[in-house]
Amino acid sequence: MTDDALFHGLNSSGDCLALGERALELIRKIYPICRSITGDGVRETLRHVARHVPLEVFEVPSGTAVLDWTVPAEWSIRDAFIADSSGRRIVDFRRHNLHVMSYSTPVHARMTLHELRPHLFSLPEHPEWIPYRTSYFRANWGFCLPHRLLESLPDGEYEVLIDSELKPGNLTYAECRVPGTTREEFIVYTHICHPSLCNDNASGIALTTILAAELARHQPRLSYRFVFAPATIGAITWLARNQDRLSLIRAGLVLGLVGDAAPLTYKRSRRGNTEIDCIAAAVVRDLDPNSRVVDFSPYGYDERQFCSPGFDLPVGRLTRSPNEAYAEYHTSADNLDLMKPSALAESFLAAARILARVDSNPRYLSRYPNAEPMLGKRGLHRGISRLTPRDMEYAMLWLLNQADGSHGLNDVSAVSGLPESTLREAAAMLVSAGLIDEVHGAPALDHPAPEHENR
C-alpha cells in the first residue's frame, strides 16, 4: 500500500478496474480517428486527451531539422476509394481508414487491375484482415484490403481516388506536465501516430491519459512529463528540442500496447540495471509470474531513441504483447475485440506502481557518516511509531549506514530485508531529526548487471 502511496491505495488489478474502464471508454473514442505522424487526426486525438488532463500542444513546422532528421510535410486526407466500372466503391476509406496507406500522395485516375495491382496490399495468411501500411518518407500511394477481396477483383477498369494533401504544415505533439516537489523528471512516452489500431496504440494513449489524470490528483515528488507524440520522428523531435533538459531525467517509461490479453512485458533500458530497471522488473513479476522482463534491443518503439548510445537514458518500456508478437499486430484485427478491461487495469496498476516506487525511492546522505549519530538525544531511540520499536531502530540503523548518496530506498530494502514502508517511516524521522538529507539530481549508481533471462 505504501508503495502506491502516490496513487493512494491502488493495490490490485481489481482496484483499477474502474480506471481500466475509463481507459477503454477513451480507446473507443479515439479508435476511429485516422491518425498519422502529422495532421488533424493527431490534433483530434489530443483534444480527446485534453478533456482528461491539461495538455500543452506543440506544433513543429515541416522542414525543421531535428537531429539527423527533418520534420516532414503535413499529410491530410479527405476521401479515398477504389470503384469498379459500375461506380460502386469496392474499397472505401470512409469504411476503414486502414484502407489507405498512410502518407499516400494524391491520385485520381482510371486504371486497369494490372496497373492498380502494385498499389494494393493484403495479407494472404489472414485473408479477412486489412493490413496497415505507411510510406512516410518515400512518395507513394496505396490501398490496403482483405486478401479475399483482392483475389475476387475482376479484371477491368477501376476508378482510383486518394484525395490527400502533403504540404508544409506541422508535426504535432503534446505534453501533460505534473510538477513535483523536485525538478528531477520522470518521462512517460506514448506514440500517437497509428490510425485505427486499438492495442497499438489507442490503448497506450488512453492509459497514459488516465495515468496522468490520476497522478495529477496527487502531489508527486518527481516532476512528470507525459509525452504524446508520433513514433520515431516524434521522439526524435522531442529529444532534439529537449536536449538541454535531459540531465534532469531520473527515469522514463515508454508505454504502449497495453490492452491485450498477453502477460506484461518490461523491456530494460540499454544500461540494463538502472533504478527503473530494478523497480519495474520487480513490479511486473510481482503482479504476474508469467510477466516477462527482456533485455534491451534497438528494435521496438521509442525506447530506441532514448537508449541510443549518445543519450543512453534510463528509460524502459512497458507493453503487454511487444510489437509484432501478436497475430493482429498492424492489421484491422487490432480492434476493440482485442481490448481486455482487466488487462488495461493491470497495465495501469503496473505503470502506477513503477511511477510510485521510483517517485518514492529517495537516496540519502548522512550528516553524521562517522560512527553512528546519537539517536537517544533526538528522541529517536526506539522512538514512538506504529512499528515495533525494534523494527524502527533497525530501519534507522540501516538507513544511516547506507546513507552515502548512492543507495535508493529500494537498495536499502534489498540489503536489509526490511520493507520499504518501514524504511520510509524511519527515513522521515531521520530527516526530521536532521540526521540525513535526501539527495536530488545525482544519478543513482547502477546496480550489478542483471541475469539476462530473456533476449
Mutual angle of helices 409-416 and 389-402, in 10-degree steps: 120
Residue 70 belongs to what H/E stretch?
strand 69-70
**Residue whose CB is less far from a second copy, 94 or 137:** 137
Residues 351-390 that bind a second copy (CB under 8 A): 366, 368-374, 376-377, 381
Task: Name the residue among 90, 64, 92 with its Cα closest to residue 79.
Answer: 92
Compute CA 172 distance to the chain's CA centroid, rounded to the nearest angstrom: 17
Find the part of the chain contacting a second copy (CB under 8 A) among 89-97, 175-183, 233-241, 352-360.
233-241
69 contacts a second copy (rule: CB under 8 A): yes
Strand partners, 254: 189, 317
How is the beta sheet containing 107-112 ordered, strand by strand?
A: 89-92, 74-83, 157-167, 107-112
Cell of residue 322, nine digits: 511487444
Q: Which residues of 211-249 are buried (b: 16+ CB within 10 A; e: fewer)?
A: bbbbbbeeebbbbbbbbbbbbbbbbbbbbbebeeeeebb
Find the part of the chain contacting a second copy (CB under 8 A) among 21-29, 216-224, 250-258, 302-310.
302-310
Q: How far apart are CA 192 and CA 38, in angstroms?
A: 10
Find the part of the chain contacting a second copy (CB under 8 A) among 38-46, 231-239, 253-261, 421-429.
231-239
From the CB of 404, what's the least distance to a second copy, in Å? 4
Among 9, 65, 68, 289, binds a second copy (CB under 8 A): 68
From the CB of 393, what's the least distance to a second copy, in Å? 8
Among 322, 383, 394, 427, binds a second copy (CB under 8 A): 394
Q: Which residues of 62-79 are buried (b: 16+ CB within 10 A; e: fewer)?
A: beeebeeeebbbbbbbee
Residues 117-146 that bind a second copy (CB under 8 A): 137-138
416 contacts a second copy (rule: CB under 8 A): yes
From the CB of 296, what's the least distance to a second copy, in Å? 8
Find the part of the chain contacting a second copy (CB under 8 A) among 95-103, 184-192, 283-291, 298-306.
298-306
Contact criterion met (CB below 8 Å) for 344 and 350: no
Among 242, 297, 335, 385, binds a second copy (CB under 8 A): 297
Q: How far apart are CA 302 and CA 52, in angstroms?
A: 24
Cell of residue 156, nine digits: 477491368
Contact criterion met (CB below 8 Å) for 363 and 442: yes
- State the number of binding residues for a second copy (CB under 8 A): 46
Among 198, 294, 398, 425, binds a second copy (CB under 8 A): 398
Find the part of the chain contacting a second copy (CB under 8 A) among 9-17, 171-179, 285-293, 392-400.
392-400
311 contacts a second copy (rule: CB under 8 A): yes
Contact criterion met (CB below 8 Å) for 172 and 149: no
From the CB of 34, what's the least distance to a second copy, in Å? 23
The separation between the first and the last C-alpha atoms of the chain, rounded to the nearest angstrom, is 32
Contact characters 235-274, a second copy, x per CB under 8 A: xx--xx--x--------------------------x----
64 contacts a second copy (rule: CB under 8 A): no
From the CB of 69, what's the least distance to a second copy, in Å? 5
Find the part of the chain contacting a second copy (CB under 8 A) among 61-69, 195-203, 223-231, 257-265.
61-69
Find the part of the chain contacting a second copy (CB under 8 A) among 205-213, 223-231, 341-349, 395-403.
395-403
Cell of residue 135, nine digits: 510510406
Residue 47 belongs to what H/E stretch?
helix 40-50
From the CB of 117, what's the least distance to a second copy, in Å? 21
From the CB of 388, what's the least distance to a second copy, in Å? 14
E strands, 249-348, where? 249-255, 265-267, 292-294, 315-319
From the CB of 190, what's the least distance to a second copy, in Å? 17
Q: How far apart are CA 339 and CA 446, in angstroms?
A: 36
Q: Which residues bind a second copy (CB under 8 A)?
A: 67-69, 137-138, 232, 235-236, 239-240, 243, 270, 297-299, 304-305, 307-311, 366, 368-374, 376-377, 381, 394, 397-398, 400-404, 416-417, 448-449, 455
